Structure 1
Amino acid sequence: MTAVRIGIIIGSTRPGRVGDQVARWVLEHASARTDAEFELVDLADFALPHLDEAVPPSLGQYANDHTKAWAEKVDSFDGYIFVTPEYNHSTSGALKNALDFVYAEWNDKAAGLVSYGAAGGTRAAEHLRLILGELQVADVRQQVSFSLMTDFEHYTSFTPPAYHQGMLATQLDQLVPWASALKSVRDARTTLATAA
């Protein structure tokens, strides 16, 4: 059986962000597993403008090269770990915009949430769960939350206590089987569409 592919999406493009440190920590610990492949995906590398597709993403008729590149990257994964900051009780505008750009490429996949902020980013994660539901992404229960007060030095250097590793391990134990199971759902859907 082929290992599932999980994209670790850095949900902030802000200068001086700390999300890249958190995402690298996730990658470091996740990469020890043999049942999945993990890849960092930095939204900053895609330089997506504000949603500029004339046709609704649910129709899959992407006109712009940046949208096509983003759709191809999103489609290449069986699941995701979203590393999200909390901005004003929600996820970042950059991540919301990236989610809105494409549709079918997200469908029937699994996701885990890793959040950070003054209150651990929990409100951003809860808002993100609502968005993912509309995109037909199944989010697992276990969340990993980091406080800017206790898990960072001077709010900038990521220094998480070791107990967070156990929370991430639990999240991955939930995420990888869901991503694998939903791959079967996508394969069955493709078979049905081909037969029709």
Structure 2
Amino acid sequence: MTNPKIGIIVGSTRPSRIGPSIADWLQKQLKTPHLDVDVIDLAQIDLPLLDEIAMPSDGHYELEHTKNWSRLIQGYQGFVLLFPQYNWGYPAPLKNALDCLYSEWRGKPVSMVSYGGRGGFQAALALSLVLRGLKFHRLSTNIEISLKPADLDSHGHFKAPNQALAPYEFNVQQLSAEFQHVLTD
């Protein structure tokens, strides 16, 4: 029997983003002998803005990039959406990636890991409405990472990611346990 697969979707595509370093750390923390975890970077996926003719809820995809995105997402049993807060909202590439599909998300467990100067609460609040609409199974463990200027270099990247993210290890362990409980029971 294969382990359930969780996809960490990196929701920011900015060239100077800190998301990939958080995703790498999350992946190491979430992975267990009973849970496989991959990073799905939207900057590498490079989805165009909603360019399918039919509504995603129809499930009729004509464009190859949408079919590929659908196949990729169908290979996962759950997701962590990792995103920064931009002006109290979440990044447009993440919204686009979610909106390109519909039934592929239905019923799958999801957690939000937001980050920003104050943790990204407003962005997570806004995204939670979208997750309801897409019929995700929203997990109770969601993490807000507050970025502290002392932990960042002049380019906005972590000086020492493991040290800066250490306060969130317990929360990630709780998330891992919740995924295991939901996906193996």
Q: Fold-level match, TM-score > 0.5?
A: yes
* Unmatched tracts of structure 1, length 5 or more: 182-196
Counterpart pick for 2:179 among 175, 180, 186: 175
User: How far did 1:162 drift?
Assistant: 2.1
Look up the match of 2:35.
Answer: 36
Give runs of ≥4 in structure 1 deviating > 3 Å: none
Look up the match of 1:19.
Answer: 19
CA distance in 2, matches of 1:11, 1:121: 13
The count of corresponding residues between Structure 1 and Structure 2 is 180
Cα deviation per residue 1:8-63 (whole Å; 9 max; x = unaligned)? 111111111000011000011122x1121111101111111111011000011011
**Alignment partner of 1:96: what SS?**
helix
The answer on whether the counterparts of 2:112 and 2:142 sit within 8 Å (CA) in structure 1 is yes
What TM-score does the superposition give when structure 2 sets the normalisation length? 0.91
Structure 1 pair 143/150, CA: closer, same or farther in 2 (3 Å)?
A: farther
Q: 1:50 and 2:49 equivalent? A: yes
What TM-score does the superposition give when structure 1 sets the normalisation length? 0.86
One-letter identity of the residue aligned with 2:27: L
The answer on whether the counterparts of 2:4 and 2:77 sit within 8 Å (CA) in structure 1 is yes
Q: 1:163 and 2:164 equivalent? A: no
Structure 1 pair 175/128, CA: closer, same or farther in 2 (3 Å)?
A: farther
**Alignment partner of 2:47: what SS?**
coil
Deviates further, 99-108 or 168-177: 168-177
* Unmatched tracts of structure 2, length 5 or more: none
Cα deviation per residue 1:149-194 (whole Å; 9 max; x = unaligned)? 258413321442423100111112112322345xxxxxxxxxxxxx
Structure 1 pair 151/135, CA: closer, same or farther in 2 (3 Å)?
A: farther
Structure 1 pair 161/11, CA: closer, same or farther in 2 (3 Å)?
A: closer
Structure 1 pair 88/54, CA: closer, same or farther in 2 (3 Å)?
A: same
Identity of aligned residues (%): 33
Larger RCO (CA under 8 A, 6+ residues apart): 2
The answer on whether the counterparts of 1:151 and 1:161 sit within 8 Å (CA) in structure 2 is no
The answer on whether the counterparts of 2:141 and 2:175 sit within 8 Å (CA) in structure 1 is yes
